[in-house]
Amino acid sequence: ALGLTQQLPLDDKYNYSREYLINRITILLGGRAAEEIVLNQLTTGAGDDLEKASEMARKMVCEWGMSEKLGPVTFGKNEEYIFLGREVARHKDYSEKTALQIDVEIKRIIGECAHRARVILEENLEKLHALVRALLERESLDGQEVALILRSGTPFGAATA
């Protein structure tokens, strides 16, 4: 896969802070922001990350009451269909006006996280380019290799000439 990143699924943890979720959404939107900065264009490569980020923002608003504007309430009732595996349908128990507010709030969260991802990358452009060089050289990096590059600012901690 092009630009594949792996993160632990949300199911591996049981309790999430708002800050943690905002950070995860920001990370998910980092690839798209990097495309804009480095390539000056957008591709379909960030589609899966965008879908995951949108779903996480939707859960923040609709399931976990983490919307600053809508407050600590939930919207829609989850109905799991066991015979369909783990597929979940959301029963709409709110008005069209509320649905619009939910959409606006989700877009606000995504927009703020996308802006934050872009700012972080622009402030760390040399490290971004070091990661690009390392990926071009090795094709894949593990967590330790990424950490080394981010600490040193050069591929695999090499000294710059």
Q: Report pLDDT digits (tens) over 70-94.
A: 999 999 876 555 555 555 556 678 8
| DSSP codes of every residue in 99-139 | HHHHHHHHHHHHHHHHHHHHHHHHHTHHHHHHHHHHHHHHS
The CA-atom distances, in angstroms, between 78 and each of 14, 53, 59, 145 are 18, 19, 11, 40
Predicted pLDDT of residue 117: 98
| pLDDT class of 160 with cuts at 50, 70, 90 | very low
Task: Please indicate, yes or no, whether residues 141 and 93 belong to a single structural domain of this protein.
Answer: no
123-129 mean pLDDT: 93
The number of distinct structural domains making up the chain is 2
In a domain, 159, yes or no: no
Same domain? 117 vs 129: no
Cα dihedral sign for 135, 54, 111, 109? negative
Same domain, 91 and 146: no
For residues 35 and 42, is the Cβ–Cβ distance under 8 A? yes
143 token code pair: 């967590």
Is the pLDDT assigned to residue 151 strictly greater than 60?
yes
Both 113 and 100 in one domain: the answer is yes
Q: Rg for the chain (alpha carbons), in Å? A: 19
147 lies in a domain? yes
Tokens at 65, concatenated: 């009451």
- Under the banding of pLDDT at 50, 70 and 90, the label for residue 3 is low
Least confident of 13-17, 26-30, 73-77, 157-161: 157-161
- The overall average pLDDT reported for the chain is 85
Q: Which domain holds residue 81?
A: 13-123
Among 33, 101, 49, 48, smallest CA distance to 73 is for: 101
Give the per-residue pLDDT at 90. Answer: 62
CB 62 within 8 A of CB 75: yes
